[in-house]
Structure 1
C-alpha cells in the first residue's frame, strides 16, 4: 500500500448492506460506486477508449488545449486534489503545466489508486503524492502538509452528472468547505445533445458497457453471497428527456427470485435495477447549480463540437 491516508475500507458486509437497501426498495437500485471493483475499473477504462464514448476524448482535448490557460489562473506551489481518481491521465496533463507541489488523488477503488500512485510517483517525482482511499462523496480530511498551499480541486469525467440535483449541490458545497477559502475547482460537465449521440455512448456495439453494468451483479455474487445469473438480465440505456439524463438499468428477462446475504429478492419479468444516472447540462444550467453550492463560474471551455465543457469555479 503506498504511503497515504486510508480513510475508508469497503467490506463484504458494507457491500451487502448497501445492495440490500437498494434491492429491497420499491424501485430497485444499486449505488454506482459498486461498479468499481478491479474488473469494473478495467472495463470502464475500456469504455473510455470506445469510438462511441465521446466524453473522455472531448474532455481530454479541452484539457490539452487549455492547460496553460488553466495554470495561469492558479497560484504557484499549489496542491491538485482530484475527486474520483482511478486514472491519472487527465491530472497528468494539468500537472505538466501547473506549478504544483502536491497531488492528492481520492478514490474508493484501492487497487486502481495504488497503481495510479506508483505511476505518478515515477513520472512526476518533484510532486508529493498523497493518496486518499475513500468514498469521495463523503467528507475527507486533507493532509496537514498541504494546508498552506493554494488548492485546485479537480472533478473530471462529468461524474457530477451521476448525482441528482440535490446531491450535486451538497457535493459541491462539501468540496468548497473541504478545499477552503480561496480555492478553485476545475470540473468536467457533459452537455445536452441528441439521444442519437448519447445512447450509443452508453450502449456500445461491442457490448463493453453492458459487461460493465452486468459486472455489478457478478461483484455481488462474489462479495455479498448473492446468486444472480447474469444471463437472465439485460443491459439497457434509456434517455429520460424530462430529467435530462441517461439512465442505466439491468432488466430481468423473466420472473425470478435471487438471494443476497440470505435474503430472497423477487423480480417480475421486465422489472429493472436502476444502476446509474448520467445527467446532461446546458452551460447556464450548470452555472446555476454551482452558484447554489456557493461557487462562481469564472471561465468555461468547450470542445470544437460543443459536446463537453470544463468549468473553472472559484
Structure 2
C-alpha cells in the first residue's frame, strides 16, 4: 500500500476561505468540513436513523456487485472522495481490479482506511492520494496507474454538493483524469418527500448540527478565527426551485468575527452556507452528464427508488 500527499497548501486554503467569505451568501468549500473530527462526525451522521442514503447505497452495491463488475469491465478502480472506503468492498470482490486508488481530502482518514482495505483485499494493490480531487487535473505518476484503463467510482451522491454548472465541470474533469475508455459508476440521490429530506440533514440527535459547527472550530484553529459556534443556529431546508437541501449556520445576532486576518460582520439571520445537496431525478442527471461528454450505459436503483447507481461511459468507450 502506498500513500501520496497532494493536500492543498495553507496559503491555498487561506485564499479559498477569503473568496468564500466574500460570496453572497457566504459559502466555503464543503471539503473544509472534513478534518479529523468532521470526518468522525460524518460517519456518525451516516448511522443516524433519518439518514438512509448510506445504508441504501451500501445494500444496492452489495446486491448488484456482480452485474456492476460485468458492466464496468477491466481496469484500475479510482474512487473519488473515498472517506472510510467501506462502500467499495463488494466492487473489489466482484471486479478484482489490478489496483484500487482512493482519493480523499482527509489524511487522517485516508491512511487508516487504505491500510484496512489492503488487509481485507490483499490481492488488490492499494494507492491512497490525499488531495482536493476537484482541483486535480491529472493523476500522479505511479506504477499502479501506468498504461492501465481507469474506472471511476463516485458514491455517496457527493456530486450534489456542487451547483449544476460546477457538477458538470467536475464530470468533465473526471473524464480527463480517467482518460481514454473511461467508465464512471456514480451514486445519485433522488428527490423525495420534503420531510424525509430535511430530517436526513437535521437529525434529532444533533449530529448534523455538530458536524456543521465543527467547521467553525476548524476555522478558529487553522485560520485564527474567533467564531463562537453557539452564536450560530444550524438549519437544513429544502429549496424546491433548485431541487436541493441548503445547510447553513445562521447568525443568531449581529456580530463581527476575525478570520484569515480580516474582520467579517454578520447580520442577525445571515447564513454561512456549509453545504448544498442537489437531488437529481434520473433524466435530469443524465442530461447533466451528457453536457459533460458522458452517456448513460446502465442504471441500478433500490426498490423504493430513492437512489440510483448510474454507469456513465465516454464516447471512446
Bin the TM-score by the shorter chain.
over 0.9
Give the Cα separation in 2 of the matches to 1:49 and 1:253: 29
Residue among 91, 107, 111 paired with 1:110? 107
Out of 165-174 and 207-216, give the one that drifted further.
Answer: 165-174
Instruction: Name the SS of the counterpart of 1:173 in structure 2.
Output: helix
- Would the aligned equivalents of 1:246 and 1:279 in 2 still touch at CA under 8 Å? yes
TM-score (norm 1): 0.96
Could you list the structure 1 runs, at least 4 aligned residues long, displaced by more than 6 angstroms after superposition.
none
**Deviation for aligned residue 1:5:** 2.3
- Would the aligned equivalents of 1:226 and 1:261 in 2 still touch at CA under 8 Å? yes
Give the Cα separation in 2 of the matches to 1:43 and 1:26: 27
Mark the runs of 5 or more structure 1 residues left unpaired by the alignment: none
- Would the aligned equivalents of 1:16 and 1:260 in 2 still touch at CA under 8 Å? no
Residue number in structure 2 paired with 1:3: 2
Q: 1:66 and 1:52, CA in 2 relative to 1: closer, same or farther beyond 3 A?
A: same
1:63 aligns with 2:61: yes
Q: How does 1:62-211 map to 2 (within 5 A)?
A: 62-76=60-74, 78-138=75-135, 139-142=137-140, 143-211=142-210
Give the Cα separation in 1 of the matches to 2:294 and 2:113: 29
Deviation string, structure 1 residues 234-266 (Cα, Å, up to 9, x no partner): 100011000000000100001111111331111
Give the Cα separation in 1 of the matches to 2:257 and 2:22: 12
Residue number in structure 1 paired with 2:35: 37
- Would the aligned equivalents of 1:158 and 1:190 in 2 still touch at CA under 8 Å? yes
Give the Cα separation in 2 of the matches to 1:26 and 1:68: 46
Instruction: Name the SS of the counterpart of 1:51 in structure 2.
Output: coil
1:282 aligns with 2:281: yes
**Deviation for aligned residue 1:144:** 4.3
What RMSD, in angstroms, separates the aligned Cα atoms of the two structures? Answer: 1.3
1:217 aligns with 2:216: yes
Deviation string, structure 1 residues 87-134 (Cα, Å, up to 9, x no partner): 111111210111211000001111111111111121111111111111
Give the Cα separation in 1 of the matches to 2:95 and 2:273: 39
